[in-house]
Chains A and B, each alone.
Chain A
Amino acid sequence: EIVLTQSPGTLSLSPGERATLSCRASQSVSSSYLAWYQQKPGQAPRLLIYGASSRATGIPDRFSGSGSGTDFTLTISRLEPEDFAVYYCQQYGSSFGGGTKVEIK
């Protein structure tokens, strides 16, 4: 079973700053199967990125995904107040990473 490890666990940043979130797999993952989700308190997760780098419908272009093999990255170019949330990566049909909380500094 592939294990996804996200880092850091918590990212403390100010609005307008850049956020870089990491997702590392214990073995190679097909990019087609790597997705990123955003979750806010009391809400269901929301799809942000699929296929490692494609934005889902309605997702602002400040969100971008990259990577391949075992190392994947979600970047938020300039944090907006509504971006403070928890972010998860997942290999479709398998486990999620432990999540990264992006909090206001």
Chain B
Amino acid sequence: QVQLVQSGAEVKKPGASVKVSCKASGYTFTSYDINWVRQATGQGLEWMGWMNPNSGNTGYAQKFQGRVTMTRNTSISTAYMELSSLRSEDTAVYYCARGRRFLNGVSLDVWGQGTTVTVSS
């Protein structure tokens, strides 16, 4: 079945970087965009950006420009999201999600299980 499996929880110090992975299975990895979304505890969903695994093209939310990098390794069907210069406000659950284009719409149809990133000194 189609699924996205993310890497495990991370604890980082302020100023450090974190790299979260998202392994796709059950479909052709290069045929669908991967989006990243985060959610702080008790808060709403925050879209961070997208990546086209085929071309490597990316688009980032303005808030994260300069701090986020989305990459991929097509040989192992895995997408990565690296966030640098971490601060306490980056403590959140990070999700990857597949962007699917339907006949009359486009949306995030499959989600990873989430990766908890804690930033603490």
Contact = CB atoms under 8 A, between A and B. Distances in A.
Q: How large is the interface on A (under 10, 10 to 19, 20 to 34, 35 or more residues)?
A: 20 to 34
A88 B37 CA distance: 13
Contacts of B102: 50-51, 54
Contact of B59 (A1, A34, A93): A93
A20 to B, nearest CB: 20
Contacts of B47: 90, 93-96
Contact of B45 (A31, A51, A92, A99): A99
Interface in A26-44: 31-35, 37, 39, 44
Interface string B72-90: 0000000000000000000
Contacts of B61: 94-95
A92 B105 CA distance: 9
Contacts of B44: 88, 96-99
B104 A54 contact: yes
B58 to A, nearest CB: 11
Q: How large is the interface on B (under 10, 10 to 19, 20 to 34, 35 or more residues)?
A: 20 to 34
Interface in A73-105: 88, 90, 92-99
Contact of B104 (A37, A51, A88, A98): A51
A88 B45 contact: yes
A34 B104 CA distance: 11
A19 interface: no
The 7 closest A-B pairs by CB, nearest first: A51-B105, A35-B107, A50-B107, A50-B105, A44-B111, A96-B45, A51-B104
